[in-house]
Amino acid sequence: LLTYPMDSYLEEKLDKRFKLFRLWESPPEKRMEFLRSHSQAIRAVVGNAIVGADAETIEALPGLEIVASFSVGLDKVDLEKCRERGIRVTNTPDVLTEDVADLAIGLAIAVLRKICVSDRYVRSGAWKTNGDFELTSKFSGKSVGIVGLGRIGLAIAKRAEAFGCPISYFARSEKLGVGYKFFPRVVDLAANCQVLVVACALTAETRHIVDREVIDALGPQGVLINIARGGHVDEAQLVPALREGRLGGAGLDVFEREPSVPEELFALDNVVLLPHVGSGTWETRKDMADLVLGNLEAHALNMPLLTPCSDGWSR
Ligand code: 8YV
């Protein structure tokens, strides 16, 4: 069962090797009926960051053996239910780390140097009529705070280091041997950095980890970058903070209710908004698809899975 239209390469390969059901082809109100009518046939679910395998879906599929997610984040998979039922879960770690880390740095530079605003300045003809563009803020050397020092967090740290940025981080526990300053509280990390990057997995524990207090600690000169999940940030607090200049800026690849984005953000020049494209390159999406296929094949052949879910907190 493919839950959502994803990569065409993945869909073609799945279609060739398996009997493929496409969940989105049935209207939302008929989905449970659809699942129940194929409940015996469906042995695997391939979901993504938008539609995974929730408790209802899992319950409707008594023959389900494996959930192979086309994502590293597993917040759309009911892991508890899978554990209870002995359903195997795989994701796509590592292959997307570089792209997501690249995009985090890209967003930070885009916000601080106003790349998108100045692009609009040229396109609108304003350069000719109004003269030089306003001055912007430097990225190199800014202190960068990272929430979650997993694979992606570390890759962002490595890149930011190359820009001469001092790095600090928040994680569930201090990581030995990384050489970055550890803050046991996110609010203290936010108060002590200029660019705060969210790079952890979304769990009950990390939902709204960036709340009003953290936003205020980051402050009018601070920039928030989110390449993880919209649910990490309390959007109802973020939007007025950006509008009122209580927060300096934000680069957001993810939102709480994708594909809906708070429209108030559209008018703001201190934000850069992307449609969840962190892993969205041809190269990486192919690698992710190959991992999904490899995991399904390994499962079918009773071989060890390539990337079983480790249930970790940092991605
Ligand atoms: C994808 C992601 O956008 O890996 C993740 O957790 O959010 C992304 O790589 C998505 O799952 C592709 O549809």
Burial of 164 from C-beta contacts in 10 A (0-12 / 13-18 / 19+) = exposed
Q: Which residues pair with 68 in a beta bridge?
A: 90
Catalytic residue annotation = 229, 258, 276
What type of residue sits at position 311?
D
CA dihedral (107, 111, 113, 118) positive or negative: positive
Q: Residue 313: is its pLDDT beyond 60? A: no
User: ω before 259 within 30° of 0 (cis)?
Assistant: yes
Helix (H, G, I), strand (E, B) or coil at 24: helix
Q: Where in the chain is the domain with CATH 3.40.50.720?
A: 8-94+281-300, 97-273
Compute the distance between CA of residue 162 and CA of residue 142 in angstroms, rounded to an integer.
12
Q: What is the pLDDT of residue 158?
A: 98
User: Is 48 a pocket residue for ligand 1 (Cβ < 6 Å)?
Assistant: yes
Compute the distance between CA of residue 67 and CA of residue 77 in angstroms, rounded to an integer.
8
Report which ligand 1 atom has the smallest distance to the Cα of 6: 13
User: Is 224 a pocket residue for ligand 1 (Cβ < 6 Å)?
Assistant: no
Substitution candidate for ligand 1 out of 98, 276, 309 with most atoms within 8 A of CB: 276
User: Is 70 a pocket residue for ligand 1 (Cβ < 6 Å)?
Assistant: yes
Substitution candidate for ligand 1 out of 2, 3, 70 with most atoms within 8 A of CB: 70
- Write out pLDDT tens, residues 237-261: 999 999 999 999 999 999 999 999 9
Q: Tell me how far the alpha carbon of residue 99 lies from the centroid of ligand 1, in angstroms.
A: 11
pLDDT band at 311 (very low <50, low <70, confident <90, very high): low
pLDDT band at 11 (very low <50, low <70, confident <90, very high): very high
User: Is 73 a pocket residue for ligand 1 (Cβ < 6 Å)?
Assistant: yes
Q: What is the pLDDT of residue 177?
A: 92
Phi-psi region of 245 (alpha: psi -120 to 50; beta: other; left: phi over 0): left
Q: Tell me how far the alpha carbon of residue 91 lies from the centroid of ligand 1, in angstroms.
A: 10
Q: Residue 272: is its pLDDT beyond 80? A: yes
- Write out pLDDT tens, residues 74-116: 999 999 999 999 999 999 999 999 999 999 999 999 999 999 9
Range 172-179 average pLDDT: 95
Helix (H, G, I), strand (E, B) or coil at 89: strand
Homologous superfamily (CATH) for 8-94+281-300: NAD(P)-binding Rossmann-like Domain (3.40.50.720)
User: Is 71 a pocket residue for ligand 1 (Cβ < 6 Å)?
Assistant: yes
User: Is 255 a pocket residue for ligand 1 (Cβ < 6 Å)?
Assistant: no
Report which ligand 1 atom has the smallest distance to the Cα of 69: 11
Q: Tell me how far the alpha carbon of residue 135 lies from the centroid of ligand 1, in angstroms.
A: 35
Q: Please check whether residue 77 is in contact with residue 44, taking contact to mean a CB–CB distance below 8 angstroms.
A: no
Substitution candidate for ligand 1 out of 50, 72, 77, 103 with most atoms within 8 A of CB: 72
Could you tell me the CA-to-CA distances from 166 to 158, 198, 220 in Å, in that order? 11, 16, 20
Q: Tell me, which fold does domain 97-273 have in CATH?
A: Rossmann fold (3.40.50)
* Neighbouring C-beta atoms of residue 160, cutoff 10 Å: 26
pTM, to two decimals: 0.96
Nearest Cα residue to 74 out of 63, 83, 61: 83
Q: In the numeric block, which tokens belong to residue 205?
A: 């524990």
